[in-house]
Amino acid sequence: MRRIDDHGQLLLRSTDTRDLVPARLGGPLLQRVARDVVAPARHSLTYGDRVRATRFALPSDAVLCGTTAAWIYGVDQTSAAHAIEVGARHGRRVRSVDGRSSRGRSFHPDDVQDSDWGLVTTPARTAYDLARDPMLLRSVPRLDALVRATTLGIADVWPVVERNPGARWITMVPRAFDLVDAGAESVRESMLRVLLALEGFPRLVAQHDLHDLAGSFVARLDLANPELRVGIEYDGAYHLDPDQAARDGVRRERVRANGWQLLVVDSTLFSRREALFAAVAALFDRAKLPRW
């Protein structure tokens, strides 16, 4: 769980700053963050700043939930401007202002715990809320990161499901968790794995360690099907560096030299779905050819 002391150090109560608000050079010295909370205008607000400022303005029974709770547990998939998701312990609706996304729903006592950030949904309840998103390409990467960042086990979520029969989008929970892989290390890797699974390709596991016949380490593959000896890697901007690209080339030649079929996917191929699916189909076709 994130430490609250690392966020919001520059936040001020507006009631304590009346002498600091006159304009200078045509602009204010302070910026409003939430009700009765301000920060120096020059300070670039982080999501953590906004969560802490919102906590100041919330009633005591308000519960941070959804993607906000996931962020508190260490999931880095929110921008500074992302909505702060808030519910109430007893279903009372919290007014949706200051960039908050209000959710008027009740929480079972076992679904809420106290923290430095105030009341927050437990990892299990947070996972349940994330999993009910109808978009698997959005929910599964968040769940991958949440499971990786906490000690949450998939079995921990089922009691939450059983306490909420008939909830909206509840049928998405088993579908989402069927695709979860805690080994995933990036959003795009998770999205690529989910996208290919939904298209019907053989399942891929994240961060597979490849060893040669002597047991020596060869490479760690972003995505792999060890049975078919197929690997897929996603190259983000980091891999555009010439030195990194050269190291990648050497490592990938070692992978292929050990009898693996390998496909490298960049942002352009990822966005061209028909071309992506064709390239992956060809990859698996080559893997199924007899090896003489």
User: 84-88 and 62-64: which strand pairing?
Assistant: antiparallel
Domains and CATH numbers, the chain: 4-178 (no CATH), 187-287 (3.40.960.10)
Residue 183 near residue 206 (C-beta atoms within 8 A):
yes
Angle formed at CA 187 by CA 183 and CA 190, multiple of 5 degrees: 55
Mean pLDDT of all residues in the chain?
87
Residue 23 predicted with pLDDT over 50: no
User: Quick one: how far is CA 232 from the chain centroid?
Assistant: 21
Q: Which residue has the higher pLDDT, 25 or 106?
A: 106
User: 100-103 and 84-88: which strand pairing?
Assistant: parallel
DSSP character string of 247-290? HHHHHHHHHHHTT-EEEEE-HHHHH-HHHHHHHHHHHHHHHTS-
198 phi-psi bin (left φ>0, alpha ψ -120 to 50, beta other): alpha
Burial 208-236 (b: 16+ CB within 10 A, else e): bebeeeeeeeebbbbbbbeebbbbbbbbe
Band of the pLDDT at 11, cuts 50, 70, 90? confident
SS3 assignment, position 38: strand
Counting residues of the chain whose pLDDT is more than 70, the rounded percentage is 86
User: 217-225 and 230-234: which strand pairing?
Assistant: antiparallel
Residue 105: the pLDDT is 65
Determine which of 64-78, 87-101, 128-142, 157-171 has the lowest per-residue pLDDT on average: 87-101
Residue 135 predicted with pLDDT over 50: yes
Band of the pLDDT at 24, cuts 50, 70, 90? very low
Band of the pLDDT at 98, cuts 50, 70, 90? low
d(CA 55, CA 148): 26
Residue 22: the pLDDT is 44
SS3 assignment, position 207: strand
For the stretch 252-277, pLDDT in tens is 999 999 999 999 999 999 999 999 99
Residue 60: the pLDDT is 83
